[in-house]
Amino acid sequence: MKGPWWKGGVRFACQSQCGRCCDEPGGIVYLSPDDARRIADHEGLEVPEWLNRDARTTYDGRYVLKSRESDGVCIHLDENKQCDIYSVRPQQCKAFPWWGENLADKRSWSQTKERCPGIDAEDALLIDGATIRLHVFSDRTSSKGFRSWPPSTGFWNR
């Protein structure tokens, strides 16, 4: 079997003061239960209190990070295009640009590259296929999300 086009690795490095992956109006960041626990702890809040303050639910009930009402971008992106919870950011954010939809084929990757200056940047490092695969699975897990706290193990929370 041949494997995915990216299995040999792809060159990437986040670029300073870029923030393009976070400043898309209307962007959605799905939260995993681990994300909610980690960020709530970081903020010194109980998970339900943090969810009420910094998350909302989608039409199908999954929790996602809120966006700023003023411009529709992530509430954690500051004026310097830096994430103010970077050390505990959601796993879906950590996984970018290694999302399944971006890696589906070379055309999708080319479109992602147009928006992300870190792909093939001058200072980019070769990210190996095994690491990319881990990020793809993290993104997939986050996208499943959760719909109640504490999360149940029922069908809808998978």
Q: How many domains does the chain have?
A: 1
**Rg of the chain in Å (alpha carbons):** 16
Q: Is residue 5 part of a domain?
A: no
Amino acid in position 141: T
Q: Is residue 86 part of a domain?
A: yes
pTM: 0.86
pLDDT at 155 over 80: no
pLDDT at residue 2, rounded to an integer = 81
Q: Is residue 155 part of a domain?
A: no
* DSSP classification of residue 44: T
Cα–Cα distance, 54 to 43 (Å, whole number): 10
| Domain carrying residue 42 | 10-149
Cα–Cα distance, 157 to 139 (Å, whole number): 15
Say if CB 127 and CB 9 are below 8 A apart.
yes
Written as six digits, the tokens of 20 are: 């393009």
pLDDT digits (tens, 9 = 90+) for 52-105: 999 999 999 999 999 999 888 999 999 888 899 999 999 999 999 999 999 999
